[in-house]
Amino acid sequence: MSDEELRKKYDVWDEKTNEMLKKFPERGNFRTTWEEDIKRLYTPLELGDYFEIGFPGKYPYTRGVQNTMYRGKLWTMRQYAGFGTAEESNKRYKYLLEQGQSGLSVAFDLPTQIGYDSDDAHSLGEVGKVGVAIDSLADMETLFEGIPLGKVSTSMTINSTAAILLAMYLNVGEKQGANRDKLRGTIQNDVLKEYIARGTYIFPPQPSMRVITNIFEFCSKEMPLWNTISISGYHIREAGADAVQEVAFTLADGIEYVRAAVKAGLDPNVFGKRLSFFFAAHNDFLEEIAKFRAARRMWAKLMKEKFNVTNPSAMKLKFHTQTSGSTLTAQQPENNIVRVTLQALAAVLGGTQSLHTNSRDEALALPTEESVKIALKTQQIIAYESGVAKTVDPLAGSYYIESLTDSIEKHAFEYIDKIEELGGMVNAIESGYVQQEISNRSYEYQKKIESGEQIVVGVNKFTVEETSSKRLLKVNDEIEKGQIGRLRALKRERDNKKVAKSLSVLENVARTDDNLMHPIIDAVRVYATVGEISNVLRKVFGEYKESITI
C-alpha cells in the first residue's frame, strides 16, 4: 500500500471513529509527560527514514550500542547500596554478590559527598545516613575488605569529591595487588547536575570543571578501563523534569563536559569512550523506552557533528538506569514492587547497560535486606523468564515507539539549542533557567495529582486505611559517635608531618593549571582525610552559592 492509499484509508477510519465518539466518548485527553497530544492511532505514516532507526551497534545507535545486545551479555545488575559504617556496608556488598549481583555500586553519606569530615559541625546528624561514611583511606580499606577490586566493577556515586574517592579506590586496589590500569568502574563526577538538582556541589562551576577535566586526563593515561563520568539525568528527572527535559538537560551537560575537555587539549575520540550516562526509568512505559532510544541517537549525532568525532566507540551512549524513587509511594508500599517491575522492563527494552531496581520500602526509609532481595530478583526474572532479552531492541518499528523517539529527539534538541543560545549549560544554570523549567514541570505535575487528573494508585485513588506496622531499616545514631572516634584516633596515629606536607603540595598545585590527581593520590595515601583535602581546595577555589528558584 502506498502512503497515499494508506492516508486515505486512515482518514476514512478516523472519520468513522469520530462519529462513534458521540455515542462512546473516550475517557479524556491523552498527553505525553511533555504535554504533547497523543494520537488515537499510530500507523506506518509515522515511520520516518529507516536510517534513523538503523542497526544495533551501528550509527546512530538507536537500536543499541552493541550488535548482539543481551543475546551476548545481559545488563549488569547493580544495586546502589551503602549505609552506616564501612564495615556494615562491606557486609551488604558481600551479601549482594552472593545473591548474584554482578557489580558494586557505592552510596556515600552526605558529608563524604560534600567534603566534610564526620566530626565537622556541618555533618551533624548526617553521618552514615544516606550512604557509608568515608573519612580516610582507612575506611575505604574496610569497605572493600575481602572484595577483589581487580575482578569486580564498582560504580561510585560521588561528584564534588570524586577525585579523592577515586584516589582512595586506586590505592586500595594497588594494596590488593590490582594495578590501576586493570581497575573497572565508574565515578559519577557530574557536578553540573548537582547545581541543577542534586545539591552536593562544593566549588563554583569553573574550578569544578577543571577538576573534572583533570580526572578525564588522568584516567585516559593511567586508568583506561575506568568510566570517568556518569552524566546523569536521573536526579534531574527525580526533581520533577519530564522525559524531554531529562534527555535535553543531560545531553546539554554532556556537551559542556566535552567542550571543557577539548578546550583543555584532550581528544574526544579518546576520552569520549569513557563517558557514560545515567537515566531514570519512570512510570510511562512506552515513553521511557523511546526516551532511551532517542538519547542514544542524539548523543551519537552530537559527538559526530558537533565535536567531529570519528571513533565510533566515542559516539556510543552507554548508560546505567535506576527505577524512579519519586514514583514510589509510602501508601500500600507493596504496590511499589509492580511499579519497579514496569520501570525496569522499560529500561531493558530501552537497551540499558546496567540497572538498579529500587526497593518497595524506599518511600519510607533505606531498604531492608529482604526488600533489596526482591528488587534484585525482579531483574533476574526479567532477564531469565520474561523472554525480552532474546532479541535486540524488540520494540523497534512500533509506529508509536518510533514516533515517540522522534518527538523526544526533536523537542530535546530545541531545548539544547535554547541552552546554547544562553551561552551553554553553566550560564543556563547560573541564571536559574534550567532549575525554573524543572520546577515549573514538577509543580504542574503535583497540581494534576491534587486535581485527580493524574492518578496515583493508593494515594489519590483506590486508597485504603493503613496500619503502620512496616518493618524498616534504621541507621543507628551511635554510628556517628563511632565514626568520629575512629577519625580522631586516625588523626593521632598517622604521620601528621607527611599529611601537612602533602596538603601544602596540593594547595600549590591547585594554584597552577597542573593536574590535581597526583597530589590527591599522594595525600590520600598518607591518610589525609576527605575533609582536609576538600578544605584545601575550598580555600583556593571558593564555594558555590545556590541560585534560589521556587
Beta bridge partners, 278, equal 232, 320
User: Which cell goes with 542?
Assistant: 571558593
User: Shortest approach of another protein to residue 148 CB, angstroms?
Assistant: 32
Query: Rounded to whole angstroms, how far apart are CA atoms 534 and 118?
Result: 13
Strands (E) in 122-215, as ranges, are 153-157, 184-187
User: Shortest approach of another protein to residue 312 CB, angstroms?
Assistant: 36
Query: Rounded to whole angstroms, how far apart are CA atoms 289 and 286?
Result: 5
Query: Rounded to whole angstroms, how far apart are CA atoms 333 and 472?
Result: 12
User: Shortest approach of another protein to residue 17 CB, angstroms?
Assistant: 37
Query: Rounded to whole angstroms, how far apart are CA atoms 193 and 77?
Result: 24
User: Shortest approach of another protein to residue 446 CB, angstroms?
Assistant: 5
Judged by beta carbon, residue 239 or residue 289, the one nearer another protein is 239
User: Shortest approach of another protein to residue 129 CB, angstroms?
Assistant: 4
Q: Give the H/E segment covering residue 497.
A: helix 496-510
Closest CA to 544 of 429, 421, 424: 429
Judged by beta carbon, residue 58 or residue 448, the one nearer another protein is 448
Q: Which residues bind another protein (CB under 8 A)?
A: 110-111, 113-114, 116, 121-126, 129-130, 194, 197-200, 238-240, 326, 328-331, 363-366, 439, 442-443, 446, 449-450, 456, 459-460, 468, 472, 474-475, 477, 546, 548-550
Judged by beta carbon, residue 62 or residue 336, the one nearer another protein is 336
Closest CA to 360 of 503, 470, 257, 245: 470
Query: Beta strand pairing status for 104-107 and 80-81?
Result: parallel
User: Shortest approach of another protein to residue 483 CB, angstroms?
Assistant: 14
Query: Rounded to whole angstroms, how far apart are CA atoms 524 and 165?
Result: 9
Q: Which residue has the cell 551479601?
A: 95
Judged by beta carbon, residue 345 or residue 533, the one nearer another protein is 533
Judged by beta carbon, residue 113 or residue 189, the one nearer another protein is 113
Closest CA to 94 of 145, 56, 34, 27: 145
User: Shortest approach of another protein to residue 156 CB, angstroms?
Assistant: 17
Judged by beta carbon, residue 85 or residue 113, the one nearer another protein is 113
User: Which cell goes with 99?
Assistant: 545473591
User: Shortest approach of another protein to residue 410 CB, angstroms?
Assistant: 27
Q: How many helices (H) and strands (E) does the chain have?
A: 21, 10
Beta bridge partners, 37, equal 31
Judged by beta carbon, residue 311 or residue 535, the one nearer another protein is 535
Judged by beta carbon, residue 135 or residue 393, the one nearer another protein is 135
